[in-house]
Structure 1
Amino acid sequence: MKIFNIPINRFRLIFTLGLMSASAVGLFILKTILTHNLALWGINWNLFLAWIPIFIVIWLENKVKINALQKWEVLSVSLLWLLFFPNSPYIITDLVHLRSLSGNTYWHYQIMIFTYAFVSLACGLLSLYWIQKVWTHVFSLNWSNLFTLGTIALSGFGIFLGRVERFNSWDFFFHPFTLMKYIFHSIKNPTAILMTFEFSIFIGLAYWMFYSLIHLKEE
């Protein structure tokens, strides 16, 4: 059974992520009512960006199933997916805003940002799992594993570019030379190296746990 050309089990996952996203937005609305300001409004945009990898991989899977794409086209769409993937774990860095908060709304901010970060990370891990399956089908298991490891490493660096250097996914298209200049200079940047390493390890372990839970079988 399928809903909107999506298998029912996958639709349930997407629907659950949608409910969690709605709860995050609900917490933001409540925060706005309590504080009478729109502080952290940008976190909603970040949540939207975190969903884009899901949309891309669903479209890619449907095309691959009907053999509508050649290998180079699958690779091209995968690279587009890769540009947006770091937005999913990126919201974790929004926890930095907690350091400037205090008072009665502190705990509300804490659970609100955590909810955004959790659902965004879940979107990213789910899309990574699905695109890994696409690569296994189209290319091979070895290429699929290599792409997954590369994605995890590059996403750590992407988070640095977004949080510290303030670049966005679309800067790859609109400011490519400026972006490449910053990437080149970041190679020797201790902060870039540390953030890339730490976030890559975190995302890798999170995905390993996610992957293990999906394949968990009761004895």
Structure 2
Amino acid sequence: MKHVQSRLAILGILCAFSLACLFLASYIRQYTGRNVYTFLHWDIFLAWVPVFCVLLIELVYWGKWTSHRIRVLIMSLLGLVWLAFYPNSAYLITDMLHPFVHYKPAAGIRFTHDIEFWHHLLVFVSAAWIGLTLGIYSLYILHSLVARSFGWITGWSFAIVVLALSSVGIYIGRFVRWNSWDLLTKPGIRIQELYHMLFDPVRLYHLSSFSLLIFGITILSYGCVYCFTFIRK
């Protein structure tokens, strides 16, 4: 019962912060009279998809309503969906470039001295925090299940590989403009694009540099939260 209550409390907090972020974006639209940042609704929804997937995985993992083999099959399928959508969570970090694109400073005023700019920036700082937290939360649950089943070394190896793949996925989403569902709808085209990207030295350098930066942010964030949780236990 306490386990369920803690899950509901965390989800409620994350949901409240998500709605607050969207409310602030709505306030900016009303204040400026410009139809900006409407894409945040979709981006935050996609950031929540991995959480929904991992909660279903956890439900199947602990359930006894069918055979072990069928449960493993269902969890594997849900796990692939989770992995495909997982980069959408930390992807919100990269949305912080939008205030510098959409904010229009008045003539003769430095943008850093205009309170409106800080409203714009706050929307995306909060969105980045929400995305990072949602990613940490869903990975922590799956990490715990993997470690419980296969040991802590396998659990940490799983977490590190996921964060590395996610960093590449975030690069592809931001710069190559792929969607998660393109893996199903356009697999041939996407594999061909990936092949050309990996064998182009300039693009490969850009990919590896950016992905390493995102990986550093996500692994440090995840490691800090994991350590705090471990200390609490």
Q: Is this a same-fold pair by TM over 0.5?
A: yes
The one-letter code of the counterpart of 1:7 is: V
**Contact 1:71-1:138 at 8 Å conserved across structures:** no
Aligned residues: 215
**Identity over aligned pairs, percent:** 26
Matched residue of 1:164: which SS? helix
The one-letter code of the counterpart of 1:96 is: L
Match for 1:28 among 17, 25, 28?
A: 25
Q: Post-superposition shift, 1:134?
A: 1.7
Greater CA deviation, 208-217 or 23-32? 208-217
CA distance, structure 2, for counterparts of residue 70 and residue 138 of structure 1: 14
Report runs of 4+ in structure 1 exceeding 4 Å deviation: none
CA distance, structure 1, for counterparts of residue 75 and residue 197 of structure 2: 30
Q: What does residue 210 of structure 1 align with?
A: 225
CA distance, structure 2, for counterparts of residue 217 and residue 130 of structure 1: 16
Match for 1:194 among 186, 209, 215?
A: 209
TM-score normalised over the length of structure 1? 0.91
CA distance, structure 1, for counterparts of residue 55 and residue 219 of structure 2: 22
> Which one has the bigger helix percentage?
2
TM-score normalised over the length of structure 2? 0.86
CA distance, structure 1, for counterparts of residue 148 and residue 72 of structure 2: 11
**Contact 2:22-2:40 at 8 Å conserved across structures:** no
Q: What does residue 183 of structure 1 align with?
A: 194
Unmatched runs of 5 consecutive residues or more in structure 2: 106-113
**Contact 2:44-2:127 at 8 Å conserved across structures:** yes
Q: Map 1:1-219 to 2 at 5 A.
A: 1=1, 7-67=4-64, 68=66, 69-100=70-101, 101-103=103-105, 104=114, 105-187=116-198, 188=201, 189-217=204-232
Unmatched runs of 5 consecutive residues or more in structure 1: none
Radius of gyration: which is bigger?
Answer: 2
CA distance, structure 2, for counterparts of residue 147 and residue 78 of structure 1: 12
**Contact 1:49-1:87 at 8 Å conserved across structures:** yes
